[in-house]
């Protein structure tokens, strides 16, 4: 019997599920090795019962999200956070430190009524145990495929514990911070993208989230200030894909 796989979505754009669909030929390999029992963007099939592996994308941004996530956790042997929303909160968590979410909804929509079942957007590991995380906005197709292959072999996928800068050095790319004065996030952002943006002469915008507990934000902030970037720009830049980092000002 093939392992049962579920691919689920909470609040987010759905781009990580779309990236799995974009795997095309590799998707056939996935289908041949797993029994996909739930995949909102790829199939109308929805089966109840236990799941061997669950991929979950999106943030917990509503009470409904939280209920759904806990149900998935109860059904799953292995739960993998898929994409930056699920791992770090991403864009919708950028303003979590700016007061009650209800007040912000009122400010935006100008009404007192509670139209939205909203709560502060948070990544999955704020509420449940997560066995593994695949970062990115969207995720890298190769990383998803390699992760699935590792699971089929009874192993947990390898983790990237070093920053994008390492991949720049390995590929002998010129540093866009020193060469072009660009606000690159490479020193504090998780590798795994093959330094795609710096390789094209662009600055890393941080779409894979921080390097676990090792990111030296104080040094990054100091360096960007020396390059002429102001506090607001730097903090917003760091938070775009790492919304759960709610105390970055303390690094200043």
In the chain, what are the domains? 4-152 (3.40.50.700), 164-251 (no CATH)
DSSP per-residue codes, 128-145 = S--SEEE-BTTB-HHHHH
C-alpha closest to that of 15 among 68, 93, 82, 78? 82
Q: Residue 230 pairs with which residues in a beta bridge?
A: none
Return all residues near 130 (Cβ < 8 A) that are at least 6 apart.
79, 80, 81, 124
pTM of the entire predicted model: 0.89
Is residue 96 a contact partner of residue 127, using CB atoms and an 8 Å limit? no
pLDDT per residue as tens digits for the range 173-188: 999 999 999 999 999 9
Residues 105-161: pLDDT tens digits?
788 888 766 667 888 899 999 999 999 999 999 999 989 988 888 888 888 888 899
Q: 136-150, 173-187, 189-203, 210-224 — which is least confidently predicted?
A: 210-224
Are 185 and 233 contacting, i.e. CB atoms less than 8 angstroms apart?
no
């Amino acid at each position: 019997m093939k392992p049962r796989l579920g691919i689920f979505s909470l609040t987010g754009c759905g781009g990580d599920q779309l990236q799995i669909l974009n795997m095309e030929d590799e998707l056939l390999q996935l289908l041949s090795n797993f029994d996909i029992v739930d995949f909102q963007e790829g199939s109308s099939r929805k089966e109840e019962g236990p799941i061997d592996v669950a991929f979950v994308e999106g943030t917990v941004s509503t009470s409904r999200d939280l209920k759904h996530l806990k149900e998935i956790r109860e059904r799953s042997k292995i739960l993998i956070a898929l994409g930056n929303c699920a791992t770090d909160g991403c864009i919708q968590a950028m303003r979590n430190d700016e007061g009650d979410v209800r007040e912000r909804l009122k400010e935006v929509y100008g009404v007192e009524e509670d139209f939205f079942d909203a709560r502060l957007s948070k990544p999955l590991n704020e509420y449940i145990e997560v066995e593994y995380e695949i970062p990115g906005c969207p995720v890298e197709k190769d990383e998803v495929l390699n992760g699935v292959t590792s699971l089929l072999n009874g192993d947990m996928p390898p983790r990237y514990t070093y920053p994008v800068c390492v991949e720049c050095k390995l590929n002998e790319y010129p540093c866009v911070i020193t060469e072009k004065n660009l606000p690159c996030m490479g020193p504090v952002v998780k590798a795994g993208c093959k330094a795609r943006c710096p390789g094209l002469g662009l600055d890393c915008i941080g779409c894979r989230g921080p390097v676990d507990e090792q990111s030296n934000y104080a040094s990054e902030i100091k360096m960007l200030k020396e390059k002429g970037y102001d506090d607001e720009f730097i903090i917003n830049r760091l938070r775009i894909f790492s919304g759960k980092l709610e105390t970055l000002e303390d690094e200043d």
